[in-house]
Structure 1
Amino acid sequence: MDLEKPPATDPQQPPARREQPSAPEGCLVVAIRLPVRIVVLVLVVPVRMLWDALVVSGRFLNDTLLRPLGRALLWLGRALFVWPFVGLWRYVVVPVATGLAWLGNVLVVVLVGLYRYVLTPVGHACAWLARGIGAGLGWLYARVLAPIGHAAMWVLRGLGAVLAAFGLGAFAVVAWLVRYLLVVPAVWVYEWVLTPLGRAIAWCARGLLWAVSTVLTGIGIALYWIGRVLFVLPALGVYQWVLAPVGRVLAVIGREIWEALGHAWRVAGRISLAVGRFLATLLRWIFVEPVRWVYRTVLTPAGHVVRDAVLRPAAEAARSVGRATRQALAGARESVRQARADVRRMLFGEPKQRETVDRREPLGRETRTLGSSTTALTKD
């Protein structure tokens, strides 16, 4: 099967010069392509079937074995690792920590009490003892050691005076040599060499400082005038001749606009008030007054008629029925009470009458006064 189109040939061209078609190349391609496809197909089909089988087996194993096994292992892991630690935390660590916290609190309280009621008094006593020892040492120094030291110094000064008296001549010679060999040359060098040299250096330094300050002052003045001419004066001229007039004009315009807005706001308030009053009056005359007139002239008389003709008679009848019912029930209760009393007398006889006893108390509901009494001692 030739899959490539052969090149077009000119029929007028001689047969000897015609290009030969590439038929062998196309056949070779076809011959190689088809076996490769067949071999690949033969090799891939089992692999794909094996893959599909593995996928189905994996899904089956996942659904039937791995997922339940995973759940069982998860439950077992919880039972072996999570729940014991939870129980240990809940029933061991937390109570122990609570007990330790209570114990720590008790220890803190004990330590605070020990510090407050034991260590503090002991410290105060030690401080008092130290102050006493310090006072004793101070007295010992002032009354004993200081006089001894003064006496020793007086003795040493006396010995020094004696020794100075014996060695005065040698000391004078040494002092003369030191003066004329060291002091006098040093003073001469200071007065005639170092002092002029220092003054010259100071004068040069002052001159250099003056020159530098003069140069810097000139540069500063030049920069000041350059900045003034380039920036300050133009800005001042722009502000004075442009911005200030424009600002005044804008201020006037803004003030006028603000005043116009305020005036318009007040006028609008008046108009709104008038319109609101007009609408309120219109609503009152259209809705409120007719409803009020209907209520006063129609509903109120009709309600009075219904009240006088229906409700009051019905209420009176209901009250009379209630009174009759209550009276009937009271009569029935009285009849039942009398029947029970008759049956009791028939069965048990007449009850014994109780003897009347003077209770020394007023029988009626009389008001007690200061002149009357109900006790046995003060009753008349």
Structure 2
Amino acid sequence: MDLEKHPREGSEAPVDLRTRPAEPQVRREPEAAEGCLAVAIRIPVRIIVLVLVVPVRMLWDALVVTGRFLNDALLRPLGRALLWLGRAVFVWPFVGLWRYVVVPVGKALGRLGNVLLVVPLVWLYRCVLTPVGHALAWFVRGVGAAVARLARGVGAALGWVYAQLLTPVGHAVAWVLKGLGVGLAALGIGVRAVVARLARYLVVVPAVWLYTWLLAPVGRAVVWCGKGLVWLVSTIVTGVGMALHWIARILLVLPALALWRWILTPVGRVLAVIGRELWDALGHAWRVAGHISLTVGRFLGTLLRWIFVEPVRWAYRSVLTPVGHVVRDTLLRPAAEAARSVGRATRQALAAARESVRQARADFRRMLFGEPRQPQPVGRREPSGREARTLGSSTTALTKD
């Protein structure tokens, strides 16, 4: 039994990993019922729009193909060449100037500034300013100690004067001022009581009587009149506003509402249906024109390939390649071998000529200046490596004969 067709119970069916998982289905809402107007204008509009859009789409696709070809064949290489030229003209000179001129000059100036400024200033600070500063600090500490002692003496004298002289005088003055303050306070209390009685009977009582029996009734009468006037004005304004409201509603709002409800809304719905159908027809026509343009482009590409590309390819494979191989095998390779042989012979001849010239120059120098002086061997006190010092040899001063 085929297990893939009839799996056992309790076992899962085999899963082919190469198969693509099914995309989740999107639940679509049921479309609303279309009216007879949309169905009536859909097909003619789509036909007219398709006839108008097909040339535009084919022209657009031709422009896209032309733009891609120009980008790949002209603009991209031109941009790379301009980029390389810009680097060669602007970037590399400045990099070389920075690397080989500015940086060495800056390092040289830094070293020169270090030698001419930093080192002398450090020496001046260490050898001149630091001892002078220490001397000034010692002098200031001495002057400060003397001033502190003088200040302590003056402070002690002032403390004695304050304790023995100023304090008793201050106590006496304070006692006198306290007595004067008590007398003046008693006098002020009496004067305040008299002034308060006079102010009460001369100012407060007449003012209260004037406010209670004259100003308050007059104010109440003025407020009542103001309220009545405000009520009258508000009633008049309300009546005029209601009248203007009904006039504007009858003359403006109701005609505008009727125009919107019975004219603009149906016309807008018709225009919306026409615009929606026109947009859908334009999109559908654009997609159909794309398929038509793709088919025409493939047909033209196939025709161009069979007319130009395939003959050129056949000529290259069947004619030019064998001819090129024959030319390479019969002419180019022998010519290259001959050129390499000539190059080797030329290099050998030049090497022999250089050796002859070197030998002749050495002979001429030997003839003019003689043989060069040979180095004289120096007597070594230590034995060589093979003749090592032993106890039985006479290589030391004590065991020599």
Using the size of structure 1 for normalisation, the TM-score is: 0.46
Using the size of structure 2 for normalisation, the TM-score is: 0.43
Greater C-alpha Rg = 1
**Using CA pairs below 8 Å that are at least 6 residues apart, which structure has the higher relative contact order?**
2
